[in-house]
Amino acid sequence: MTTTTYPISEEQVQFYQENGYIQLLNVLTADELAQARQALDEVMEQQLDESHDRSADAEYRKIFVQKVNLWQVHGGVRRYVFNARLAEIARRLARAQTIRLWHDHALIKMPGDSKASSWHQDIPYWPMQEDGSLSCWMALDDVYVENGCMAFIPGSHRLGRLEPINLKAPQDLFKLVPDEQARELNLDFTPRFQPMPAGSCTFHDGRTFHYAGPNQSDRPRRAIITIYMPDEVHFSGKPHIVTDDLQLTPGAALTGERFPILAP
């Protein structure tokens, strides 16, 4: 367990609430960064079953290698995911009483990965009745536009849930936005790219439009993402790799061992 805090001001909470994302610099200590990198590199060498490894699909692999719920299979990743400082930041930003884990995943863009992570929202893929779940996207390498840093559209979370995008054969998310709603919300669709040093992160709401370009550098771009659920979130019935084996009925609370409380 970590004991130090990363102070989040009320202005930062407001920025997150208004824009649906925020960037926070140097959130991990040098030791934590080194440990997280080592854990990720080790777990990438492990043989994982299909409930953890989404990298078998060759088309998907042109975007990134994705491995899911690594906290269940590697002690070092578990330590990272249970980092109370990060969960407490999520709790503050979401203005929640408690924070539970939805799942973690590693997204590694290898050099030469030729496809962008197209503009999308996350919440349409998640089997959740409530909105408000949020991701902490932690850079384990320095990230910049050319190696696939994240980009966001400020305020796009206020558009609510649109249709899920097929990341392998991407549709144009922006075409799904009703003109009238975009005008009413006064949205500026200029992407805000998020270059940042390793050990820094962004948090984004599951409804916020986001994107990362291909990795045009000669080194991997390693990121570990922890997805947090504020307070009690209920199952919608939609299929999902994290819940498929649980035989949940729609309306069931996403609680219990699979979704541990991380803060307070």
Q: Cβ of residue 221: shortest distance to ligand AKG, in angstroms?
A: 8
Site string for ligand AKG, 115-134 (x = CB under 6 A): --x----x------------
Q: Cβ of residue 116: shortest distance to ligand AKG, in angstroms?
A: 8
- Contacts with ligand AKG: how many residues (CB under 6 A)? 11
Q: Cβ of residue 166: shortest distance to ligand AKG, in angstroms?
A: 14
Q: Should residue 223 be labelled a site residue for ligand AKG when binding is judged by CB under 6 A?
A: yes
Q: Should residue 210 be labelled a site residue for ligand AKG when binding is judged by CB under 6 A?
A: yes
Of positions 39, 212, 233, 248, contacts ligand AKG by CB under 6 A: 212
| Burial of 31 (C-beta count, 10 Å sphere; 0-12/13-18/19+) | exposed
Residue closest to 24 by CA, chosen among 3, 7, 37, 4: 7
**Cβ-contact 255, 237 below 8 angstroms:** no
Q: Cβ of residue 148: shortest distance to ligand AKG, in angstroms?
A: 6
**Cβ-contact 186, 156 below 8 angstroms:** no
Of positions 16, 71, 126, 137, contacts ligand AKG by CB under 6 A: 137
Q: Should residue 64 be labelled a site residue for ligand AKG when binding is judged by CB under 6 A?
A: yes
Phi, psi of 146 (to 5 degrees): -70, -20
Cα distances (Å, whole numbers) of residue 151 to 108, 154, 170, 190, 205: 16, 10, 17, 10, 13
Of the two residues 83 and 135, which places its CB atom closer to ligand AKG in the complex? 135
DSSP state of 234: B
Of positions 107, 143, 233, 263, contacts ligand AKG by CB under 6 A: 107
Of the two residues 155 and 220, which places its CB atom closer to ligand AKG in the complex? 220
SS3 101: strand
Of positions 66, 83, 133, 135, contacts ligand AKG by CB under 6 A: 135
Of the two residues 52 and 210, which places its CB atom closer to ligand AKG in the complex? 210
d(CA 258, CA 256): 6
Whose tokens are 């541990």? That residue is 260
Q: What's the start-to-end Cα distance of the chain, in Å?
A: 12
d(CA 52, CA 72): 9
Q: Should residue 148 be labelled a site residue for ligand AKG when binding is judged by CB under 6 A?
A: yes
DSSP state of 256: S
Interaction site with ligand AKG (CB under 6 A): 64, 107, 117, 122, 135, 137, 148, 210, 212, 223, 225
